Amino acid sequence: MNEATLILIKPDGLKKSLTGNILTRLSETKLEIMAAKIVKVDKGLATEHYKHLKDKPFFNELIDYICGEKHNRKKVMALVYWGENATTKCRQLAGATNPEEAEPTSIRGSYGRITTSGLYENVIHVSSNKDEAEREIKLWFTPAEVIVDLYPVKESTVNSCTHVVWA
Ligand code: IDP
Ligand code: MG
């Protein structure tokens, strides 16, 4: 079944100059890129993105990590990949969450690390399933930034300006 998934190249991936390498690995999947941009991540976006982890002991450090505070790189590359089993294919290439447990040839196994404080700096985010992908793509991208209509949209008028937003 065709589906979309959100990929983030995290600040450590950008700092380690892995962008080209990661995109090359992802191109092996033959999935289509439907959106791409560089994002300056603020605490609000980070907290919403990782809200399922808000009770974890590593949550605050995770927020600092994705905001780029730990790498002095306040940017993330966000992409939407689309095609057959997109999430499964991309998660397989990414490898396990814990870089020590990830397949050595996977992206996380090759380039991730565990910090001395215990945070998994694992270079790349991939949505965990179809529903999470929809939630995350709607959080990171506006409809106009995605070249196909992945999800229903509606018009919203604010101060006489009409925008297309996710329905
Ligand atoms: P995922 O990124 O493989 O989907 P999630 O459970 O959604 O894994 O966790 C989000 C991110 O939080 C991970 O990619 C990793 O950076 C960090 N993380 C998750 N679990 C742990 C942990 O047990 N210790 C340290 N960091 C973790
Ligand atoms: Mg996850």
Does ligand 1 have an atom closer than 6 angstroms to the CB of 118? yes
Share in percent of the chain as helix, strand, coil (round to 5): 35, 25, 40
Q: What percent of the chain has pLDDT over 70?
A: 100
Q: Which atom of ligand 1 is nearest to the CA of 127?
A: 4
Query: Which range of residues forms the domain containing residue 79?
Result: 2-145
Dist. CA 2 → ligand 1 center (Å): 26
Q: How many domains is the chain partitioned into structurally?
A: 1
Give the per-residue pLDDT at 117: 96
Does residue 160 belong to any structural domain of this protein? no
Check the CA dihedral 120-113-23-27 and report its sign: negative
Residue 51 lies in a domain: yes
Instruction: Based on the residue annotation, tell me whether 125 is a catalytic residue of this protein.
Output: yes
User: Is the CB–ligand 1 distance for residue 127 below 6 Å?
Assistant: no
Mean pLDDT value of segment 44-50 = 98
Mean pLDDT value across the chain = 97
Please report whether residue 152 resides in a domain.
Answer: no
Distance 158 CA to ligand 1 centre (A): 37
pLDDT in tens, 54-111: 999 999 999 999 999 999 989 999 999 999 999 999 999 999 999 999 999 999 999 9
Q: How far, in Å, from the CA of 45 to the mean position of ligand 1?
A: 17
pLDDT value of residue 80: 99
Residue 161 falls inside a structural domain: no
Cα(68)–Cα(90) distance, integer angstroms: 23
CATH number at residue 56: 3.30.70.141
- The residue-averaged pLDDT of 43-54 equals 98
Which of 41, 91, 106, 120 maximizes ligand 1 atoms within 8 Å of its Cβ, making it the mutation to test the pocket?
Answer: 120
**CA 14 to chain CA centroid, nearest Å:** 13
